[in-house]
Structure 1
């Protein structure tokens, strides 16, 4: 089979790119089609993609696309549909905010989309439209309509969690198989007693301010790993025992985990969290929001704790509760192994094989 991979864009190395990396390991000869590549923003992570066959859409030629990629979203239908994928038998799209599932394929081609999420700014936040300019609302309405119809062209959907599967069913009227994203699991280690850890982007959506404020209020040591637009504000909010380490090389994380009491994962809207599962793979328990997809990952009172409200007081209460209990590092590791890369590959290979058989046997079958 001739296989092509399609990905929103390459400007960071986040959870979606980790999925793409494993897809490329599964199909190393497959070219990767993407809207644009921002080598400057990728920094050292560009080395991961150096020997890949990367083919960019016409959007790569738009002036300032790397900086103003959100402003160019109205042009996405033209950019994705300009790609010629007629030579491929199987197309795997890794799709999220930038709608890469919108590519056109032949009726004979099987298109499977690993949908990280339907775009949140199109589907989850219509109540903010009253504060936006009429032109922006008009653009979002048309993109929402286009996104819905593009989703109908996909043959099979896969996603990372029950949370996103429910959103796909609601917004696209499609069902999706659930295969959690691949996580690199160390499979050894145990929790320390020196500090709490926050690992992730410093953005409003990730809600790191809850972790910083809670540890400052309780006067607990917190080490913050990551970068983002919220860093300066968080530094003003932080107490004396909060340290900001910026981005940390992956090889240095094992030592940081070895001294951590727990990882704090406060984001209530997270569909899945690779970083907290990686931490569990080092034997570190996780304190996470019960509103997030992590409620299906963390075994409450066994591999961590879930706090019920997205507030500082609720997280403070969970931290105090956590310090009065014991958690098994081995239980954390065993749970994390259920999300290891080989598990992801095995499940996805089986799903693709079944989808190929169904596609050949029922070429005119209605989308699921």
Structure 2
């Protein structure tokens, strides 16, 4: 594991009294990032780092930037975050769900540092949380998957059983089923965010079971390589465009765009206006991007997916609109009813039609 300081020098930063944090004495605003994977993973971490570098470019020599990559979730994360806080960081972004408790623990010991935790839900006076409505992109992927499958078998490589991942499975399935009532989902959990070998094995297993579309909520490009080698299998980029695998097998993607958020939050530290917030944005604000749909997809299906993207962006359509029934047969949403954010945030059930259990 490495920590690198990339840029230094610049303007002074002071925290306003409204934040309850004391003024900062140093001349530079020190910005740190803790990453769960390597910055060249091709997906989640690489795109966080790409967005961070856009932030660095925006501020130039007004900030000092540091990061540590490939930090495992758990005790190692707490040590890494502590080390970064001790180095004088003014704001630290911790960019994986499993960093939640370590972030909270370290924040309690460093009240003069502010923290931003990605995809979690625990806040403190000096801890904000932020995430993206990835399920909006999953709905579009599900629609495309349901349209292009020839076997009616869609595979899903799932990472860690938390509501974020379950929302994605449900959104994908519901929309695949809407356009193709004959589809079935086959789900393989690998219990890690990034493990190229496991991801490749999962993709191969799904393909062997007859899946000709493979979706993923994991971070590497390994499933795309497996699909490319198999031939005739469709995939979708995760977190990054993964366009090098287009036009086939990769036919579209969910792209995470964190840069505007990072710029805004660092600017708030510089201005002394930072406060603890809970941000959950999606396609409408640009935090979730949809990669170009490949021309391998028939034009009418491409247009259908793009129309859904636009309707979600304007708020005219919500991916979780009833009627929706849970896997156990109970009604979750009545006709026309839209899920509220509280229910979505805590989602821990499959919708009707998905087979198997959610791992504990």
- Using the size of structure 2 for normalisation, the TM-score is 0.37
> Could you say which structure has the greater relative contact order, defined with CA pairs below 8 angstroms and 6 or more residues apart?
2
